[in-house]
């Protein structure tokens, strides 16, 4: 019996998101050649928010007007964009990108911990718990972080950013995806709030930017694809599958990083990396097989599915609710 169409679409979105986010460590490294961490954060958010607002306007999707929704956007933007983006930029100044990736892969574990504390996660099945641990073990095998260099403070910055991503997944799942708003509107709202907040923080570590072509190109990729398009996919995954399953994309990110290094940088693929990638895929599979009805998402499903079919938003979403 074949995989249901809805599940196939979810898997495709998960892989696309992994590709976009998996390559981001390279773009951050290159972008830091011309910009400070906060300048990089602001520019990628500005491009992403601009893209999504244009898409919303083209599709006739109105942004919400309720102040409480924008408060939630601001909180999600702080813990899911401005602070972690900045921390990864700071961290990658002093640690290897491979170590940053393995620390990023702890996000599902943080998501589980936060979800259990917030009581948004139902009782965890044995297969889901095993999948989370197996997936994390696979990322360790791929990158062998004990071989990587870097400072303790840089590693701590990346680990803190990963923990904040876990908070963001649960917060969005509880307070935003349950509303009658399309994923594009949710993404545009969060990224718009993040752009405003990062603009206020621009003086942090300020120096005149070096407008070199490679840094500018990296900012464009980070903003338009790695943030703008990626956040539409991310909200759709949280809505359809719940925050814990959606966060398993971070297990695929190291796999993408290895493949990216081979195809773009000419790096060789070791047996350890092959074994690690296989273990990662097993872990993600175990988590996804345990997926039932996602918590805190049923109210958003009609709008999201209608948007995916091209039917447009519901009357409530057009009115800003």
Whether 69 maps to a domain, the answer reads yes
At 36 the pLDDT is 95
At 25 the pLDDT is 82
Whether 76 maps to a domain, the answer reads yes
CA distance 115 to 166: 9
Residue 77 has pLDDT above 90, yes or no: yes
Q: Which residue has the tokens 């170590």?
A: 99
Q: Which residues pair with 95 in a beta bridge?
A: 150
Whether 193 maps to a domain, the answer reads yes
Whether 170 maps to a domain, the answer reads yes
Number of H helices, E strands in the chain: 17, 0
Higher pLDDT, residue 127 or 28: 28
pTM (2 decimals)?
0.75
Query: What region does 266 belong to: left with phi over 0, alpha with psi -120 to 50, or beta?
Result: left
Higher pLDDT, residue 48 or 252: 48
Whether 74 maps to a domain, the answer reads yes
Higher pLDDT, residue 39 or 305: 39
Please report which helix (H) or strand (E) contains residue 241, including its range.
helix 230-241
At 112 the pLDDT is 79
Residue 250 has pLDDT above 90, yes or no: no
pLDDT mean across residues, the chain: 80
Residue 300 has pLDDT above 80, yes or no: no
List, for residues 257-267, the tens digit of each pLDDT value.
Answer: 777 777 765 66
Q: Which residue has the tokens 């297990």?
A: 251
> With bands split at pLDDT 50, 70 and 90, how would you rate the model's confidence at 224?
very high
Burial class, 156, CB count within 10 angstroms (exposed 0-12 / middle 13-18 / buried 19+): middle
Whether 198 maps to a domain, the answer reads yes
Whether 276 maps to a domain, the answer reads no
- Contact 168/306 with Cβ under 8 angstroms? no
- Contact 187/232 with Cβ under 8 angstroms? yes
Domains identified in the chain, total number:
1
- Ramachandran angles phi, psi of 119, nearest 5°: 60, 35
CA distance 230 to 103: 20
CA distance 295 to 281: 24
CA distance 216 to 270: 32
Domain that holds residue 38: 11-125+150-253+304-312
Rg of the chain taking only CA atoms, in angstroms: 19
DSSP annotation of 66: -
**Tokens coding 135:** 């997936």
CA distance 36 to 43: 11
At 38 the pLDDT is 96
Chain centroid to CA 89? 15
Residue 321 has pLDDT above 60, yes or no: no
At 122 the pLDDT is 66
């Amino acid at each position: 019996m074949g995989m249901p169409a809805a599940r196939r679409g979810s898997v495709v979105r998960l892989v696309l998101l992994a590709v976009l986010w998996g390559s981001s460590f390279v773009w951050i490294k290159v972008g830091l050649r011309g910009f400070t961490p906060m300048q990089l954060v602001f520019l990628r958010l500005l491009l992403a928010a601009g893209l999504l607002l244009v898409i919303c306007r083209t599709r006739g999707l109105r942004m919400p007007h309720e102040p409480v929704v924008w408060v939630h956007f601001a909180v999600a933007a702080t813990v899911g964009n401005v602070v972690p983006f900045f921390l990864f930029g700071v961290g990658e100044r002093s640690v290897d990108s491979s170590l940053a990736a393995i620390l990023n892969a702890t996000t599902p574990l943080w998501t589980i911990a936060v979800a259990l504390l917030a009581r948004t996660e139902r009782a965890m099945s044995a297969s889901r718990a095993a999948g989370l641990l197996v997936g994390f073990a696979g990322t360790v095998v791929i990158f062998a972080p004990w071989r990587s260099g870097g400072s303790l403070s840089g590693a701590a910055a990346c680990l803190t950013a990963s923990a904040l991503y876990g908070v963001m997944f649960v917060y969005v799942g509880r307070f935003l995806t349950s509303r009658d708003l399309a994923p594009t509107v949710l993404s545009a709202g969060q990224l718009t709030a993040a752009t405003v907040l990062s603009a206020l923080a621009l003086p942090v570590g300020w120096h005149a930017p070096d407008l070199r072509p490679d840094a500018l190109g990296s900012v464009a990729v980070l903003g338009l694809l790695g943030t703008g398009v990626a956040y539409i996919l991310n909200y759709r995954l949280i809505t359809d599958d719940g925050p814990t399953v959606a966060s398993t994309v971070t297990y695929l990110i190291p796999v993408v990083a290895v493949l990216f290094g081979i195809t773009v940088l000419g790096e060789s693929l070791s047996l350890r990396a092959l074994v690690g990638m296989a273990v990662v895929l097993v872990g993600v599979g175990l988590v996804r097989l345990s997926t039932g009805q996602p918590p805190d998402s049923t109210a958003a499903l009609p709008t999201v599915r209608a948007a995916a079919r091209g039917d447009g938003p519901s009357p409530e979403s057009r009115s800003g609710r």
